C-alpha cells in the first residue's frame, strides 16, 4: 500500500539529492572494483572518480540552492496568501491580529509586536502582540527593546540583528541585556513617507534566526500591511463619521418633523426637495411624499403667484421676504397664511434654493376678530387675560382687593322728554367716561348694573401694591370729568349726580357660573360693604372706609385739592359694629 508521501511529485531539491546519492553509491562501487580490476591487469578510465566527485559536489550545492529558493518561494506564496487575507478585512483589530500571525509565520519568530502612531498625539502606542502559537500576549508581559523600536520609528529604516547581545549597536542597551534578547527584526509601517507604525519580531533563544531574506520579506509584507491597516483605520473613521452623520440626520429629521411651522425646501429650479409634517397638514400635500421633485407652482397653484414674487425678491436681493395672505387651500377652504421665504446659500454665498416657512393664522385671526367684539363688552385686562382666567377654575382664591362702586347717574335724573334710545345713549356716555378712567388707573370692571359700575383693583388680572390709592385717584378723576359732562347733558355746572363707594378688604375671586358660561367676579363681605357705602352716599359724594383712609392718608394729606371729611362711625345694615367712614371732595385741604 502506497502512502501520500510516495505518491506526491518530488521537489527539485529532493530529485537532486536522489541523484547525488546515486553518484555517491557509484563512487563507492567503483572504488571497491578498482582493486579487482588492478589484479586482473585492468584499470578504470582516467578521471572517472574525479568527475563523479565533482558532479557530487555540484549536486550538493544545487540541493542547497534549490532548498533556499524553494523556501523563499514558499515564503513568497505565504506572503501573497496572507497579504490577500489581511486585505480582505476592514476591521482594524482583525487586520492587526492577522498581520502579526503572518509576521511570525514568515520569519519563524518567537514573538511579534505591532505599534501604531496615535493620530492625535503622534506617539507610538501598543496595539497587538502575538506568540508563535498565535496567542495574544498581554502588553505587561511582553518585554521588548524600546531602543530598537524608537530608532525604526524615527528613521524609517528597518533593523535586523542576528545576535543583539554582541551587536555593537545595541549590546549596551539595558533592554537588550536585561531581557537577553538575541535575534531581532524591526521594520516600519509606511504610507508614502509617513511612518504610521512599527512591526517588531524577536527570539530570546536562537541567534542568527533572521537574515537579509527575512528582512526583505518582512519589508515587503509591511508595505502591504501598512496599506491594509490604513484602509481599516480609514474605514473605521468613515464608519464613525457615517454613524455621526446618521445620528445628526435623525436628530435633524426629528427637529424638522417637530417644527410647528410648515417648512418646504425648494431648489434653484423651484422643485420641492423636502417638506415636513406641518407643511403637509397646512397645505394639504400628499402624505406619501410624492410632491417631492415637482415644481411648487404645480403643487400649490393658489399660492403660485405669491410664492414666485417672494422668490424673485429672495434671489435678486438675497434676503428674506414675507407676506400674509388669505387664499383657498384645496379641501381646507379659505385659510389665512403667513409666508416667509429664506434664501439657501452656497459656500460662495450664492442663492441655490429657498426655505419656505408657513404658519396657518386662520384660527388666530378668527380669535382676534372675536376678541375685538368681546372688548366692546368686557374690560381690556380681562380680555387680554382670558386664558389665565380660565385657569382659575370655579373654586377661586382669597386675596386683599379694593372694590369701587359708582352710580354714574340715576335714571330718574335724566330729562323726561328723552326717548328710551336717547336715554340709553346718554347713559352710555357716562359709562364710557367712567370705564376709561377706571382702566387708566388699573381697575378691572367687574360688571355693569344699570347705572352702576363695579370695579376691582389688585385681582389676579391687575395686581398692584397701591391698589387702594389707585381706586381713590380713579374716583377723583371720575368726579372731575362727570362734573364737566353733566353741564353738557342738558344740565348745569352745579348739578352733580354721581355717587361712589370704596373699600379694601379680603374677598374671594374666581369664576362663577356653569361650565358653559362663567363670570369672573369677587364675592364676600368686602364687596357687600362697598355697596353699602354707595347706598349711603348722596349725589356728588365719594365715601371711603377707614381701611382706605388709613392706607391713603399720607397721599391725601400731601394733596392740596382734596378735602377729607370724617363722617364718624355709622351703623351699616347687616353689620353689628358701626363702620367709620370718610368723605372725599375736591377743595382746599
324/138: higher pLDDT: 324
366/67: higher pLDDT: 366
**Least confident stretch, 120-134, 407-421, 483-497:** 483-497
State mean pLDDT over 185-214: 78
Residue 13 shares a structural domain with residue 50: yes
State mean pLDDT over 102-121: 79
E-strand ranges in 333-425 read: 334-345, 351-360, 397-407
- 8 Å CB contact between 233 and 151: no
Residue 404 shares a structural domain with residue 549: yes
Residue 402 shares a structural domain with residue 445: yes
Please report whether residue 429 resides in a domain.
Answer: yes
Please report whether residue 81 resides in a domain.
Answer: no
pLDDT at 162 over 80: no
CATH of the domain at 315: 3.30.450.20
575/533: higher pLDDT: 533
Please report whether residue 369 resides in a domain.
Answer: no
Residue 66 shares a structural domain with residue 114: no
Residue 411 shares a structural domain with residue 560: yes
pLDDT at 505 over 90: yes
Please give the residue range of the domain that contains residue 190: 87-237
Please give the Cα distance from 101 to 108 (Å, whole number): 10
End-to-end CA distance of the chain: 143
**Least confident stretch, 117-131, 150-164, 374-388, 507-521:** 374-388
Strands 541-545 and 499-513: parallel
Please give the Cα distance from 477 to 492 (Å, whole number): 19
Residue 217 shares a structural domain with residue 267: no
- 8 Å CB contact between 481 and 500: no
Q: Which residues have C-beta within 8 Å of that of residue 252, sequence separation ≥ 6? A: none
Percentage, residues of the chain above pLDDT 70: 75
E-strand ranges in 261-396 read: 262-267, 272-275, 321-328, 334-345, 351-360
Q: Indicate whether this model's pTM tops 0.85.
A: no
pLDDT, tens digit, 9 for 90 and up, residues 459-487: 988 899 999 999 999 999 999 998 888 77
Residue 543 shares a structural domain with residue 478: yes
Residue 397 shares a structural domain with residue 274: no
378/398: higher pLDDT: 398
Residue 447 shares a structural domain with residue 564: yes
What is the pLDDT at residue 214? 75
CATH of the domain at 436: 3.30.70.1230
pLDDT tier at 589 (50, 70, 90 boundaries)? very low
State mean pLDDT over 533-561: 92
Cell of 413: 335724573
Domain termination residue (choose one: 364, 389, 409): 364
pLDDT tier at 388 (50, 70, 90 boundaries)? low
Q: Give the number of other CB atoms < 10 A from CB of residue 80.
A: 11
State mean pLDDT over 214-239: 78
What is the pLDDT at residue 69? 65
Total count of domains within the chain:
4
What is the pLDDT at residue 566? 93
Please report whether residue 82 resides in a domain.
Answer: no
What is the pLDDT at residue 285? 82
Please report whether residue 250 resides in a domain.
Answer: no
pLDDT at 384 over 70: no
Please give the Cα distance from 578 to 105 (Å, whole number): 115
pLDDT, tens digit, 9 for 90 and up, residues 58-91: 777 776 666 666 656 655 565 565 555 555 556 6
Residue 351 shares a structural domain with residue 464: no
Residue 335 shares a structural domain with residue 462: no
* Average model confidence (pLDDT) across the chain: 78
Residue 170 shares a structural domain with residue 271: no
Please report whether residue 243 resides in a domain.
Answer: no
pLDDT tier at 534 (50, 70, 90 boundaries)? very high
pLDDT tier at 106 (50, 70, 90 boundaries)? confident
- 8 Å CB contact between 99 and 114: yes
Please report whether residue 246 resides in a domain.
Answer: no
Please report whether residue 216 resides in a domain.
Answer: yes
pLDDT at 238 over 70: yes
Amino acid at each position: 500500500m502506497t502512502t501520500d508521501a510516495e505518491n506526491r511529485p518530488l521537489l527539485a531539491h529532493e530529485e537532486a539529492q536522489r541523484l547525488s546519492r546515486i553518484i555517491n553509491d557509484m563512487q563507492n562501487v567503483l572504488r571497491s572494483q578498482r582493486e579487482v580490476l588492478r589484479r586482473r591487469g585492468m584499470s578504470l578510465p582516467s578521471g572517472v572518480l574525479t568527475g563523479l566527485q565533482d558532479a557530487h559536489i555540484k549536486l550538493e550545492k544545487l540541493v542547497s540552492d534549490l532548498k533556499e529558493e524553494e523556501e523563499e518561494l514558499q515564503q513568497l506564496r505565504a506572503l501573497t496568501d496572507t497579504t490577500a487575507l489581511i486585505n480582505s478585512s476592514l476591521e482594524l483589530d482583525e487586520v492587526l491580529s492577522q498581520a502579526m500571525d503572518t509576521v511570525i509565520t514568515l520569519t519563524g519568530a518567537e514573538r511579534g509586536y505591532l505599534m501604531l502612531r496615535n493620530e492625535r498625539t503622534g506617539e507610538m502606542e501598543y496595539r497587538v502582540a502575538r506568540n508563535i502559537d498565535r496567542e495574544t500576549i498581554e502588553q505587561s508581559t511582553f518585554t521588548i527593546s524600546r531602543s530598537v523600536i524608537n530608532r525604526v520609528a524615527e528613521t524609517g529604516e528597518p533593523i535586523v540583528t542576528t545576535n543583539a547581545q554582541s551587536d555593537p549597536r545595541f549590546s549596551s542597551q539595558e533592554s537588550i541585556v536585561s531581557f537577553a534578547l538575541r535575534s531581532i527584526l524591526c521594520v516600519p509601517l509606511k504610507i508614502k513617507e509617513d511612518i504610521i507604525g512599527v512591526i517588531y519580531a524577536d527570539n530570546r533563544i536562537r541567534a542568527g534566526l533572521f537574515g537579509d531574506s527575512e528582512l526583505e520579506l518582512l519589508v515587503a509584507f509591511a508595505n502591504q500591511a501598512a496599506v491594509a491597516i490604513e484602509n481599516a483605520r480609514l474605514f473605521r473613521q468613515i464608519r464613525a463619521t457615517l454613524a455621526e452623520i446618521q445620528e445628526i440626520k435623525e436628530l435633524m429629521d426629528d427637529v424638522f418633523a417637530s417644527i410647528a411651522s410648515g417648512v418646504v425646501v425648494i431648489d434653484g429650479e423651484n422643485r420641492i426637495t423636502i417638506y415636513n409634517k406641518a407643511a403637509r397638514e397646512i397645505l394639504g400635500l400628499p402624505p406619501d411624499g410624492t410632491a417631492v421633485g415637482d415644481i411648487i407652482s404645480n403643487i400649490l397653484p393658489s399660492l403660485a403667484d405669491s410664492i414666485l414674487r417672494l422668490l424673485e425678491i429672495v434671489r435678486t436681493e438675497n434676503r428674506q421676504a414675507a407676506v400674509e395672505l388669505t387664499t383657498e387651500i384645496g379641501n381646507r377652504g379659505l385659510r389665512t397664511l403667513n409666508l416667509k421665504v429664506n434664501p439657501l446659500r452656497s459656500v460662495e454665498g450664492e442663492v441655490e434654493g429657498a426655505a419656505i416657512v408657513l404658519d396657518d393664522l386662520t384660527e388666530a385671526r378668527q380669535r382676534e376678530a372675536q376678541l375685538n367684539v368681546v372688548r366692546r363688552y368686557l374690560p381690556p385686562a380681562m380680555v387680554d387675560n382670558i386664558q389665565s382666567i380660565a385657569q382659575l377654575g370655579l373654586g377661586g382664591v382669597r386675596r386683599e382687593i379694593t372694590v369701587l362702586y359708582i352710580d354714574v347717574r340715576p335714571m330718574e335724573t335724566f330729562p323726561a322728554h328723552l326717548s328710551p334710545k336717547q336715554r340709553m345713549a346718554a347713559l352710555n356716555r357716562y359709562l364710557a367716561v367712567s370705564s376709561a378712567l377706571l382702566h387708566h388707573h388699573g381697575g378691572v370692571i367687574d360688571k355693569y348694573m344699570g347705572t352702576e359700575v363695579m370695579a376691582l383693583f389688585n385681582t389676579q388680572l391687575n395686581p398692584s401694591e397701591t391698589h387702594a390709592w389707585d381706586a381713590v385717584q380713579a374716583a377723583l378723576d371720575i368726579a372731575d370729568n362727570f362734573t364737566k359732562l353733566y353741564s353738557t347733558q342738558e344740565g348745569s355746572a352745579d348739578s352733580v349726580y354721581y355717587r361712589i363707594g370704596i373699600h379694601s378688604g379680603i374677598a374671594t375671586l374666581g369664576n362663577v357660573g356653569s361650565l358653559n358660561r362663567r363670570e369672573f367676579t369677587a364675592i364676600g363681605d368686602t364687596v357687600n360693604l362697598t355697596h353699602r357705602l354707595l347706598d349711603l352716599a348722596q349725589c356728588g359724594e365719594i365715601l371711603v372706609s377707614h381701611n382706605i383712609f388709613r392706607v391713603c392718608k399720607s397721599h391725601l394729606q400731601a394733596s392740596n385739592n382734596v378735602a377729607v371729611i370724617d363722617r364718624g362711625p355709622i351703623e351699616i345694615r347687616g353689620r353689628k359694629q358701626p363702620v367709620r367712614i370718610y368723605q372725599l371732595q375736591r377743595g382746599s385741604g
